Each structure stands twice: as C-alpha cells, then as structure tokens.
Amino acid sequence: MTTAGALVQARDRAVSNWLLAAADNRNRAQREWNDRGVALLRCGGAFTAIRVPASLITAAAGSEGRAEVSAYLNAALHRGPVFVDQTAGWYYCLVPARACETWREPGTECFGDDHYLGVPCPGIDFQHPRARSCWVVAMDGPAELCSPDAIRQLVDVARKKTAEAGMR
C-alpha cells in the first residue's frame, strides 16, 4: 500500500470512530456500514446536517457531472464534508449542531437533535458499488465540518443562477 493510501485509511478510521459517537449503538452502526454502506446516526450532538436539494447544488455548480459538482463543493464549502443520497436527490452538508439555531434558508432543512440520518461509511464515494449514498466531499478528519455561512452563500449563488436562467 502506498503512503497516500495508508493515510486515507487512517483518516477514514479516525472519521469513522468520530461519527460512530453519534450512534445509539456503535456495534449496530458498524454492522450497518459493513452490510449496507449506510448507518443511522443521531443528529444534534457532535454534528448535524443541512439538507439541500440536488437542483440547488447542480445550479450552483453549473453542472450535473459528478466530478464537476464534487470539485465545486470542495471549493465552495472549503473542503467541508458533503454526501449525497442519489436516489432521493438530496445533498447533506455536515455542520456543527448549533447551526440549527439560526438556519432559515427556504427549500433546505437543518436537522435538529430529533432526527436520525443515514450516513455513508467513510470511504464510500461514487466509485463504490454500493453508492446509493456516498461522500461527494470526504471528511478531512474528525470534527472537520462545513461552515453554515458557506452553505448560505452556495444557496444564494444557486438561486441567482436559477433566476438568471429563467430570464433567458
């Protein structure tokens, strides 16, 4: 294994351990990741998620291509972690739990501590065969989350681009 591969594995292990702290039962969540690639984790503790429709993400990115959307989100959200449920058409940006106190962006939702979220196992990306839900921007490390302000800016950009496209 290359040094880069070993570093990615170590990062994914650290991120997994951190995310599993949000599980009601760590062993069950680990089995869910092993069996299905997604585990049910509780929002509102160490992190929560802001759910954004795919239409806003692709409008902001100016593309529906996976690589282009990933590159755009990586830059726009300053490497903050994002995963997508490709079947449902939602992107989930992981943010600090306190973000729900002030989040009021129409068409999006910030999940409070009364929500559970199906979070993909670290390491599952678009290349993975079980990629119904997968990481678009992987977590850089434990507690490395998106800035809610960056997500607001992304949503504003998407709305402006959508409005401009409607005027043409």
Beta-ladder partners of 55: none
Q: How many domains does the chain have?
A: 1
Over the stretch 25-83, which tens digit does the pLDDT of each residue have?
A: 999 999 999 999 999 999 999 999 999 999 999 999 999 999 999 999 999 999 999 99
**Amino acid at position 120, single letter:** P
Helix (H) / strand (E) element for 84: namely strand 82-85
> Which residue segment(s) compose the domain that 103 sits in?
3-167
Over the stretch 90-102, which tens digit does the pLDDT of each residue have?
A: 999 999 999 999 9
pTM above 0.85, yes or no: yes
Query: Can you tell me the distance from the alpha carbon of 49 to that of 30, in angstroms, rounded to the nearest whole number?
Result: 20
**Residue appearing with tokens 């992190």:** 47
CB 81 within 8 A of CB 135: yes
